[in-house]
Amino acid sequence: MNSGERNIVPQVFESVIPGIAILSPSNELEYVNESLYNLCGFPGIGNTSNTPEQQLQLCHGRILTLLNNFDIKSTLICQESVLQTIDESRTNVLVYHDCRLWKQNEGTSKEFYIIEAGVYEKQFALSQWLQWIYILDSMSDSICIFSTQYRILHCNSATEKLLKIPKSEILGKHCWEIFHDDHKPLTPCPAANLRNISERDKKIIHLQDKWIEVILDPLRDMQGNFTGCLHILHDITEIKSLEEQLRKHEAELVKINNSKDQFFSIIAHDLRSPFHTLLNISEILYSEFGTMPQNETLRFISILYNEQKRVFSLVQNLLQWARIHNGSIEFAPDQHNLRETIIEEAAIFKTIAEEKQIVLLTAIKKDIDFRYDENMLSTIVRNLLSNAIKFTHPGGKVLIKVLENEIGIRIIVQDTGIGMEADDVAKLFHVGSHYSTPGTNNEKGTGLGLVLVKEFVNLHKGDIKVESQLGIGTTFTVTLPKKQ
């Protein structure tokens, strides 16, 4: 037995009622506790001038005779035997054998015996102490029993597994040496209050990157005196992690719901505004029909037309956005000619650009076969071109071009418009931010188009970036990977 074990063993076994004997793998008696000395009829170490080694030598023959009669191969964990004491009298005893209770780090096991006097007629039972050992060892939670000085007297297998420390390095240690995260005693120790209370206490500690719930129970004798404490340790790291995830998800849901509430409030306002215009102009045309000059009538009809187009675009984008979020829109990528899709969309906006005296240019040198959802990509191009024309002054330019490499393609829409501040760029793709400003011809919008662009780009596992300088212009770059 090494010096470390010699320091630990007496603290653990000297106060127990059963006799304890430990044999080395070479069948040498290494340790006998006070109770077993007394069973053999020898005085305890404290009552003799003999050294522990001399006492062991005196007991050696009698105890080995008893233990050698023990049938290790028996399925019984406890067997009845007879111990011959120093005065040649015979005492009935129970002998319990287990190697697991004293297993070494290198994997070899010492023989561990518990000898208890007093056998019931034709039957025997494990002592209450042994029952506790088996019960505690079978539990999945870590269990430790502490002395009145808060040294660890016993721990189960789950403690070794939790702490990743062998039992031989745990027993006899102060609680702060094992369980306090900074390995320093706390003043007062969390278990110290147990001397003065009768109820259990609960604490949560952080130990070796784990969250541990510790249940502390005071142990008292029949007279109510404090004899130690019991710690039950339960690893709640996974629970803590789930709680943290739930808190984050809850915060995200609150944020999303607030954004949606704000978003729908904005949409309601933006729908109401053009309808007011439509109603007012309709009323004027109705009341002054036949009397209004033709050029004035044409002006009002033009306003009606533009407002209806805006409302239609808004409703169309809103419906598409809603379909994405309720899962009713289908993402159906297929092989298409990207050049044809973009040229087709650009042709629709050529007339609108000419009306504002804006030059719309396309720079797609070759056919590019690419896998994408055609309806979604058309919506992306349509919203980016509409946005570029809207914020470009007459005489300006809008360019759409495509660049390809082995990783994917980039669709770039560049304008010479009014540009944006950096703070405004950050608001473009967020529902509820309501970043929308009038165009250079006072065109109105809601900002929903760019939100929709971002959603469709994400479905393609792509990315969208914005570069803008106030008074210089803006460049939107959509990057789509070839492998989705």
Average pLDDT of 313-317? 73
Higher pLDDT: 448 or 15? It is 448
Architecture of domain 139-235: 2-Layer Sandwich (3.30)
Contacts of 56 (CB under 8 A, 6+ apart): 29, 30, 31, 32
Specify the higher pLDDT residue, 108 or 283.
283
Q: Return the pLDDT at 218.
A: 84
Nearest in space to 97 (alpha carbons), one of 59, 56, 126, 122: 126
Q: Is the pLDDT of residue 436 over 70?
A: no
The CA distance from 312 to 368, in Å, is 32
**pLDDT of 150 higher than 60:** yes
Q: How far apart are the first and last CA of the chain?
A: 65
Read off the pLDDT of residues 113-139 as tens digits, 9 standing for 90 and up.
666 554 433 334 444 556 667 777 788
Can you tell me the mean pLDDT for 241-268? 76
Instruction: Report, as an integer, the average pLDDT of 49-72.
Output: 70
Residue 279 has pLDDT above 80, yes or no: yes
Residues 278, 242 contacting (CB under 8 angstroms): no
Tokens in use for 383? Answer: 């919203």
pLDDT at residue 224 greater than cutoff 80: no
Region of residue 11 (phi > 0: left; psi between -120 and 50: alpha; otherwise: beta): alpha
Residues in the chain, overall count: 484
Q: In whole angstroms, how large is the CA radius of gyration of the chain? A: 42
Under CATH, what is the fold of the domain 247-481? Heat Shock Protein 90 (3.30.565)
Could you tell me the pLDDT band of residue 323, with boundaries at 50, 70 and 90? confident
Name the DSSP class of 44: P
How far apart (Å, rounded) are the C-alpha atoms in residues 390 and 397?
12
pLDDT exceeds 80 at position 231: yes
Mean pLDDT of 36-56: 69
Instruction: Tell me: pLDDT of 70 over 70.
Output: no
Angular region, 332: left φ>0, alpha ψ -120 to 50, beta rest: beta
Q: How many Å apart are CA 68 and CA 359, to the nearest integer?
A: 105
Mean pLDDT of 47-70: 71
Which residues of the chain form CATH 3.30.565.10?
A: 247-481
Burial class (CB in 10 A: 0-12, 13-18, 19+), 249: exposed
In words, the CATH class of domain 1-130 is alpha beta
Q: Where are the alpha helices (DSSP H) in 288-396?
A: 294-325, 338-355, 374-390
Taking CA atoms, 118 is separated from 32, 34, 279, in Å, by 19, 17, 104
What value does the mean pLDDT take over residues 237-241? 88
Torsion of CA 336, 338, 343, 349, to 10 degrees: 100
DSSP class of residue 15 equals T
Residue 29: per-residue pLDDT: 76
The predicted structure's pLDDT at residue 76: 43
Cβ-based burial of 196 (10 A; exposed 0-12, middle 13-18, buried ≥19): exposed
The tokens for 287 are 């009341």
Cα 342 to Cα 412: distance, rounded to the nearest angstrom:
11
Task: Answer for the pair 304, 296: CB distance below 8 angstroms, yes or no.
Answer: no
Instruction: Look at 275 and 337; give whichever has higher pLDDT.
Output: 337
Above 90 in pLDDT, residue 44?
no
State the DSSP H helix or E strand holding residue 64, giving kind and residue range, or none if neither: helix 52-68
pLDDT at 410: 94
The string of DSSP codes covering 109-146 is: B-EEEEEEE---TT-----HHHHHHHHHHT-SSEEEEE
Residues 6+ apart with CB under 8 A from 241: none
In whole angstroms, what is the distance from residue 92 CA to residue 457 CA? 85
How many CB atoms are closer than 10 A to CB 311? Answer: 17
Q: How many H-runs (helices) and E-runs (strands) does the chain carry?
A: 12, 17
CA distance 360 to 351: 9
- Cα–Cα distances (Å) from 169 to 155, 216, 224, 429, in that order, read 11, 22, 31, 58
CATH 3.30.450.20, the chain: domain bounds? 1-130, 139-235
Assign 190 a pLDDT band (cuts: 50, 70, 90).
Answer: low
Report d(CA 81, CA 67) in Å as an integer: 9
Q: Which of 103-112, 183-192, 248-257 has the highest mean pLDDT?
A: 248-257
Quote the CA–CA distance of 138 and 187 in Å, as a whole number. Answer: 34
- The answer to whether residue 1 scores a pLDDT higher than 70 is no
Cα angle 368, 369, 371; round to 5: 125
* Cβ neighbours around 461 below 10 Å, total: 11
